[in-house]
């Protein structure tokens, strides 16, 4: 019997008619098939050694297996020697330069008299590789997993100012049960951008799944491992903030995240291809276009299904997602820093100083800071300082209570502070210090001068000091050194006792007529 096998229902007609005594020619004529075909099926029924009544009781696939089983490969005497080497050949194929042809040539040398031809050798080897790695169909539950990945190919937009084409990465995620998808363009795959995109994804879905399944990208996993991957600390903080868990996919196992791999392919055709003839001039407009295309993708009916991804998501999954927290997640940064002698810690990334209680000078602290806040903890885990984060270069953020009493006094200094001190002493000193700060100098340069002047006021008789200030103001000299010389040289007393004497008369004087 050559060609395509006959329908088993027709074969049953052949066997039934033959069992009732009909001849081969009669059967062939009635069923409109060749005599050789009738002979072939009757012969197969005879060699099967199964009663005709039992054959007629079999279902069509069972009957086909009984009559047309053929000669399986494992019955071939050449199969047994090759079977023992199949695992070895499979392992060898992973090595550089090793091909099936190389292996077949080695196999032929080892079995010169009895071996498969090259094509049959490849069939047996391929079948073994497929059978040794069966694929399991996973059963997904609503609101269980969110698969996360990046598309391999970037998108781009044009900078309006420079005309430069700027490439961006495309974040892709989908829920395991409904296959509801999300995509977004971000500047890079760095942790901050990755976390921002993931946060936007959860907001778009309106809830949080039981676990996140990222690929082994650096933004999510710091050390890839088949059994115990080290999850990025930022992603751990993110998961704790949203009340979920992280289960990274295994290394080099795309089947672990087959759904999101398939989503990437769909996004290429339903987003990339649709936007290929459009130009964008900023990331916002590009993301708006991506959002519109993803919405259309989620609303498209799936093949062999009577519903779309969005319909299944809304009907069965959305209400089972965990609620979103009230506040957005902020990336936390961790540092261990020593308190300097001026009782501040220094965050080098911001180039900014933050104060700590002076009792912690010289001690090690643990610092956790976000985009908005800086929190400083002592060795015992106690929170000792909280500051709003500042990005002012070489600046200081200081809480007055963190300083010792001497430093607190130092921080109180200001022109108003010293002018008030002068006013409390006398009207003259008030005018003198007020005039001192009106000079074209930075106030900080004059603080020590004021300290010296106030010290002189305490060490000197009040009347003498006031007169010295008046004399200094007459000479418009506002300095501690000049005031001190007046008092040390007793210039105030000399001025009071010197009588006014007229100039001596002499002839060397020109009269008024000389100036006409």
Same structural domain, 214 and 257: yes
Measured CA to CA in angstroms, residue 266 lies from 259, 272, 294, 296 at distances of: 11, 9, 10, 12
| CB 252 within 8 Å of CB 237 | no
Which of 343, 378, 403 is the endpoint of a domain? 403
CA dist 433 and 451 (Å) reads: 11
In whole angstroms, how far apart are CA 409 and each of 28, 401, 404, 413? 119, 11, 9, 7
Rounded to an integer, what distance in angstroms lies between the CA atom of residue 26 and that of residue 98? 59
Residue 196 in domain:
yes
- Mean predicted confidence (pLDDT) in 237-244: 89
Whichever domain contains 216, its CATH number is 3.30.420.10
Task: Find the range with the poorest average confidence among 114-118, 162-166, 331-335, 453-457.
Answer: 331-335
Domain-located, residue 408: no
Domain membership flag for residue 510: no
d(CA 196, CA 198): 5
Domain identity same for 163 and 302: yes
pLDDT mean over 150-175: 90
Q: Is the pLDDT of residue 231 over 60?
A: no
Residue 277 has pLDDT above 70, yes or no: yes
In this structure, the answer to whether residues 100 and 213 fall within a common structural domain is no
Tell me what pLDDT residue 226 has: 45
Residue 348 has pLDDT above 90, yes or no: no
Residue 469: inside a domain, yes or no? yes
Final residue before a domain boundary, out of 67, 92, 114: 67
Q: Which helix (H) or strand (E) holds 67?
A: helix 60-67
Minimum mean pLDDT among 214-228, 245-259, 404-418, 483-497: which range?
A: 214-228
Instruction: Please tell me whether residues 224 and 161 are part of one structural domain.
Output: yes
Distances (CA, A) of 240 to 170, 210, 217, 226, 231: 25, 12, 20, 23, 13
In terms of domains, do 395 and 248 share one?
no
Largest pairwise CA distance in the chain:
177
Amino acid 497: pLDDT: 46
- Lowest mean pLDDT: which of 196-210, 254-268, 365-379? 254-268
Domain assignment present for 516:
no
Please tell me whether residue 62 adopts helix, strand or coil conformation: helix
Mean pLDDT on 170-183: 90
pLDDT, position 204: 93
Instruction: Say if residue 151's pLDDT is above 80.
Output: yes
Same domain, 166 and 227: yes
Same domain, 365 and 251: no
Within 10 angstroms of residue 224's Cβ, the number of other Cβ atoms is 16
Question: How confident is the model at residue 227, as a pLDDT?
Answer: 38
pLDDT grade, residue 444 (50/70/90)? Answer: low
Examine the pLDDT at 32 and tell me if it is beyond 70.
yes
- Domain tally for the chain? 5
Residues 39 and 153 both lie in one domain: no
Count how many residues are written for the chain. Answer: 516
- Which range among 140-154, 266-280, 338-352, 403-417 shows the weakest confidence by mean pLDDT? 403-417
Q: Which tens digits make up the pLDDT trace of 285-314?
A: 999 999 999 999 999 888 877 889 899 899
Report, as an integer, the average pLDDT of 49-65: 85
Residues 220 and 278 in one domain: yes
Q: What is the mean pLDDT of residues 28-48?
A: 89
Q: Let me know if residue 514 belongs to a domain.
A: no
> Higher-confidence residue: 103 or 262?
103
Q: Over the stretch 502-516, which tens digit does the pLDDT of each residue have?
A: 666 666 666 666 665
Alpha-helical regions (H) of 438-514: 443-459, 462-474, 480-488, 491-497
Q: Can you give the pLDDT at residue 324?
A: 93
Q: Domain of residue 21: give its range.
A: 8-67
Considering the chain, what percentage of its residues have pLDDT values greater than 90?
23
User: 306 and 158, same structural domain?
Assistant: yes
Q: Is residue 191 part of a domain?
A: yes
3-state SS, residue 212: strand
In this prediction, residue 477 has a pLDDT band, given cuts at 50, 70 and 90, of: confident
pLDDT at res. 296: 92
Q: Considering the domain boundaries, does residue 40 fall inside one?
A: yes
In this prediction, residue 101 carries a pLDDT of 93
Would you say the C-alpha torsion 447, 453, 459, 463 has a positive or negative sign? negative
User: CATH number for the domain including 389?
Assistant: 2.30.30
**Is the same domain home to 307 and 355?**
no
Q: Which of 355, 382, 403 is the last residue of a domain?
A: 403
pLDDT higher than threshold 70 for residue 452: yes
State in Å, rounded, how far the first CA of the chain is from the last one: 151
Based on the fold, state whether residues 158 and 226 are members of the same structural domain. yes
Query: Considering only CA atoms, which of 451, 438, 442 is closest in space to residue 484?
Result: 451
Minimum mean pLDDT range among 198-207, 246-255, 337-346, 405-414: 405-414
């Amino acid at each position: 019997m050559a060609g395509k096998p006959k329908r088993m229902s027709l074969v049953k007609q052949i066997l039934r008619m033959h069992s009732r005594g009909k001849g081969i020619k009669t059967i062939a004529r009635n069923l409109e098939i060749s005599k050789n075909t009738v002979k072939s099926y009757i012969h197969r029924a005879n060699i099967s050694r199964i009663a005709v009544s039992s054959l007629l009781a079999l279902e069509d696939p069972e009957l086909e297996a009984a009559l047309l089983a053929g000669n399986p490969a494992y019955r071939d005497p050449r199969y047994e020697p090759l079977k023992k080497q199949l695992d070895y050949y499979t392992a060898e194929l992973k090595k550089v330069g090793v091909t099936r042809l190389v292996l077949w040539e080695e196999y032929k040398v080892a079995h010169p008299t009895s071996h498969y031809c090259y094509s049959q050798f490849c069939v047996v080897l391929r079948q073994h590789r497929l059978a040794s790695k069966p694929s399991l169909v996973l059963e997904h539950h609503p609101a269980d997993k969110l698969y996360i990945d990046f598309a391999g190919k970037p998108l781009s937009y044009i900078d309006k100012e420079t005309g430069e084409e700027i490439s961006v990465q495309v974040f892709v995620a989908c829920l395991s049960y409904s296959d509801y998808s999300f995509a977004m363009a971000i500047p890079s795959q760095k942790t901050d951008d990755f976390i921002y995109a993931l946060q936007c994804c959860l907001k778009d879905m309106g809830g949080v799944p039981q676990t996140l399944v990222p690929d082994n990208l650096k933004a999510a996993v710091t050390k890839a491992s088949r059994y115990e991957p080290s999850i990025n600390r930022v992603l751990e903080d993110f998961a704790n903030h949203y009340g979920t868990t992280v289960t990274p996919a295994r290394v080099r196992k795309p089947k672990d995240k087959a759904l999101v791999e398939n989503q990437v392919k769909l996004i290429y055709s339903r987003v990339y291809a649709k936007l290929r003839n459009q130009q964008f001039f900023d990331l916002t407009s590009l993301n708006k276009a991506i959002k519109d295309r993803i919405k259309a993708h989620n609303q498209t009916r799936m093949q062999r299904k009577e519903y779309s991804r969005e319909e299944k998501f809304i009907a069965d999954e959305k209400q089972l997602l965990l609620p979103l927290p009230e506040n957005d997640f902020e990336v936390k940064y961790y540092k261990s820093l020593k308190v300097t002698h001026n009782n501040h810690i220094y965050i080098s990334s911001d180039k900014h100083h933050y104060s700590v209680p002076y009792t912690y000078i010289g001690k090690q602290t643990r610092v956790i800071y976000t985009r908005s806040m800086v929190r400083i903890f002592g060795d015992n885990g106690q929170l000792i300082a909280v500051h709003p984060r500042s990005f002012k270069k070489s600046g200081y953020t200081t809480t007055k209570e963190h300083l010792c009493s001497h430093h607190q006094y130092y921080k109180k200094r200001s022109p108003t502070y010293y002018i008030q001190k002068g006013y409390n002493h006398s009207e003259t000193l008030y005018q003198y210090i007020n005039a001192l700060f009106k000079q074209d100098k930075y106030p900080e340069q004059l603080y020590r001068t004021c300290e010296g002047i106030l010290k002189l006021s305490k060490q000197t008789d009040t009347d003498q000091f006031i007169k010295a200030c008046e004399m200094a103001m007459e000479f418009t000299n506002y300095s501690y050194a000049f005031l001190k010389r007046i008092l040390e040289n007793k210039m105030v007393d000399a001025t009071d006792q010197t009588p006014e004497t007229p100039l001596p008369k002499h002839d060397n004087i020109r009269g008024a007529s000389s100036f006409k």
